[in-house]
Each structure stands twice: as C-alpha cells, then as structure tokens.
Amino acid sequence: MDELSRPTTRLLGRLSVGLGILTVLTALLADFVGLSLTPGLSYNQILMIVLGAALVAAGVFRGKFFSAYRSFAVIAMNVVMILLLLDLGAVVALRLVRKEHFADLQRKIDGGMLDALEQERMAWGRYEPYVVWRASGATVSSESIDSSGFRVTPGSAEGESSFRVFVFGGSTVWGCGVSDSCTVPAYLLRKIEDDLGRPVEMRNLGQIGYVSTQEVIELFLQLRRGNVPNLVVFVDGVNDVAAAYQSGLAGAHQNLPRIRSRLERSLRDLDPTVNLPHPLVQLARGSSLYGVLRLCMGTDRCRPAADTEVINYAMRGHDPDSLASAVVEVCLANYRFVEGLGERWEFDCAFFWQPTVWTGDKELTANELSLASGGGGGFRSGFGP
C-alpha cells in the first residue's frame, strides 16, 4: 500500500467496495433472477456473500484490512502445516496401534486380491455417458483392463472366424479378487472353445456395481458402434436388489442419492432421509488424525458415522414385497428388450440370476434377518463412486 499514491488507493478502495456490494446483491437476488439452481441460500451463495463482505471491508479499511489479512494468512498457513504434520504422525500411530488392519491389507495385496487403492477407496473409475461410470487404469492396477475400461480376457481371439461372446454383469462377471484367467468369462471362453472347436472372441463387459439396466444400455452402445456378437450372456440379481435396497426404487443404479447430489452440487437435494454431513466434515473424518481421536475415545476406526448409517428402502417407507416384485419386473423387461435386439441383430441370448446365500430354505442368520426387515448391516449406502 505504501507504493501506491493516495488517489490510486482511494480508486482501488471504491472499486473494491462496488465489486463487493455487487457480489452480495448477486448472491441475495440469485433466486429472483434465475441464477440459482435451488431455492434458498446455497453454499455457493453463502460463499459469495462472505467474499463480497470481505471486498467491502478491504475497500473501506484499505491498509488496515490488508495488514490484518496478511497476519491471518500466515496464521492459517501455519495451522494447515501443523494439521498435515499431525495427520502424518497419526498414520504412523495407527500402524503401530492397529497392526492387524494393515497386516490383513498387506496379505490381500500380496495375494493379488486387491490393491491398496481398491481396498481403501473402492473407487469405480471414471464417468461414462449413459452408463454413469466405467473402470479406468487410474483406479484399477491389479487387474488388466483395455483402453475402453473393460476387463481383459486372456486367450480371446479376434477375427472373422471367431465366435463372438459378450458377457454382462457386475463385480461377479468383472472378477473382483481373481486373476484375469479366473474370471467367469475366462472359464466360459475355454468351455465354448471346447464345445465349438473354433476360436472365441470373449468380451468381458461387466463393471463393478452395474445393474441390468446399465448392462442393456452398454449392449446398445456396442451395437451402435457396429460390434455385433453371436451370443450375449447376462448374469444379474444381486446388484439390482442392492440398488433397490439402497434407494427404494426398482431399476435405479447404485449410489443414486450420492451421484445425484454431485450432479446437482447441493447436499440439500439428497433424499431427506440421507443425513450426509458437509463435504469438509467428510474429508476430516477420513483423515488419520480423526482415526487416532476415535481410538483415544474408545471407538473403532472402521468407518465414519455417516457411512455406517443404514440408508435403505425401509427408511423410505417402501413395502419389501412390492419392491422385490418391481425389481424382478424391471429385469424381465430388460431381458425382453435384449431378446428383441437379438431378433433384429441375429444373436442368441442367455440370462442367469445369481445364486446367493439367501436362496433356498436355509435358516437365516441374525444379519440376514436384519436385512430382510430393513435393519442394519449388509447393504450400505456408499458402494461406489
């Protein structure tokens, strides 16, 4: 400020006050002029009001304001550095206190079941039009995927003489925790080769967390590109049920409330029964320092509280029998649509409903009974991206 003349300082002050007032008015009037996506004050509008007030203060107090700002910036930077150092120390402390957790994680890594990123984050990959997500090399390192985000099947033979098979499904088809040669499509390739006595081009089009509707859309996208199979195989059931269990909607993809909130950029657009904290609070709860504090308070550092809260159909008041029937109807409608595509494009279809531990007349465990009644345990909000 000492290097500027008084007229220049006054001019900058007036500009700062004017810009601050304009920013505050824009935030307050956003609902009336159509600039706001949601009614009421959003987080962005509140931030604009704070920024506008800071600009007005900077213009009014000028030198004193900037001097105070520099002091605040130095203090804030020191606080951030201290927190980073504490979190780094917390990582070391957790490794010493919870050796069994990291030992179990290392066993899974060494066994080729999961890499550290998949175990700790369960990230599903990148955004993909229409199907919402698809795997990427940035999130999957222990499994071979091609440039399109699909799992590689060893021995798959491309060519005019090859029998072409597309296999769709969720993590079961993808092959979580197994090598490329031990996935369902890999075994199916060897079986079909033996039966037909000809090369087989096997495309594993499964993706972690996919439901049958996403798979039908993926089939459509493949056909639109001119990729026509001789046979399509669908392996479904668990994910369609899990997605309906989460949201209470038959036919929805998994993590619907979370993904919708990211698109609409506002936590208030979540279903009222989904009580997620502010993103900054979620970030803090994911830190190692928070884990140490939980240990000191005698609580386990397995998941943040918001992630262990069960969000499901029961909390939304849906009847389980009617919801189950609706899930089946969605899958059957999808399969009828695929059969119609098969008639048009001249390929065969095979549909399989996944067997589960709930199938049959077995005696249910306490956890399974809790699931059946919409209680805790089992399927939780937060399966993915």
Give pLDDT tens digits along the chain (385 positions). Answer: 455 566 776 777 778 788 888 888 888 887 776 666 566 677 677 888 888 888 788 777 766 666 666 777 788 888 888 888 887 877 777 667 666 656 655 555 555 544 444 433 444 678 899 999 998 865 555 688 898 999 999 999 998 899 999 999 999 999 988 899 999 999 999 999 999 999 999 999 999 999 999 999 999 999 999 999 999 999 999 999 988 888 888 999 988 877 877 676 554 444 444 455 556 666 676 677 777 777 676 554 444 334 444 456 655 656 778 888 999 999 999 999 999 999 999 999 999 998 876 666 777 777 777 666 666 544 544 344 4
Which CA distances in Å does 350 have to 163, 165, 214, 335? 15, 11, 17, 9
Residue whose token pair is 């079986």: 191
Per-residue DSSP letter, 249: -
- Together in a domain, 160 and 236: yes
- Together in a domain, 320 and 196: yes
Q: Name the residue among 231, 239, 119, 137 with its Cα closest to residue 177.
A: 119
> How many other CB atoms sit within 10 Å of the CB of residue 172?
18
Q: Residue 282 domain-assigned?
A: no
- The answer for 40, left when phi > 0, alpha when psi is -120 to 50, beta otherwise, is left
* The pair of three-digit structure tokens given for residue 369, joined into one six-digit string: 């009974």
- Together in a domain, 142 and 236: yes
- Together in a domain, 30 and 143: no
Contact assessment for residue 20 and residue 73, using Cβ atoms and an 8 Å cutoff: no
Q: Residue 287 domain-assigned?
A: no
- In whole angstroms, give the CA distance from residue 247 to residue 265: 19
- Together in a domain, 143 and 241: yes
- Together in a domain, 232 and 324: yes
Q: Residue 283 domain-assigned?
A: no
Provide the residue count of the chain: 385
Amino acid at position 134, single letter? R
Helix (H/G/I), strand (E/B), else coil: 200: strand
Q: Residue 327 domain-assigned?
A: yes
- Together in a domain, 48 and 183: no
- The whole domain housing 165 covers 116-247+316-372
- Cβ neighbourhood burial of 249 (10 Å; 0-12, 13-18, 19+): middle
* Residue where a domain terminates, one of 61, 82, 106: 61
CATH code of the domain covering residue 180? 3.40.50
* Residue where a domain terminates, one of 61, 77, 92: 61
* Residue where a domain terminates, one of 16, 37, 61: 61
Contact assessment for residue 51 and residue 76, using Cβ atoms and an 8 Å cutoff: no
Q: Residue 93 domain-assigned?
A: no
Kindly give, in sequence order, each residue whose CB lies less than 8 Å from that of residue 356, ignoring residues fewer than 6 positions away. 237, 238
- Cβ neighbourhood burial of 123 (10 Å; 0-12, 13-18, 19+): middle
Domain count of the fold of the chain:
2
Burial 27-52, CB ≥16 within 10 A → b, else e: beebbeeeebeeeeebebbeebbeeb
Amino acid at position 54, single letter? A
- Together in a domain, 332 and 207: yes
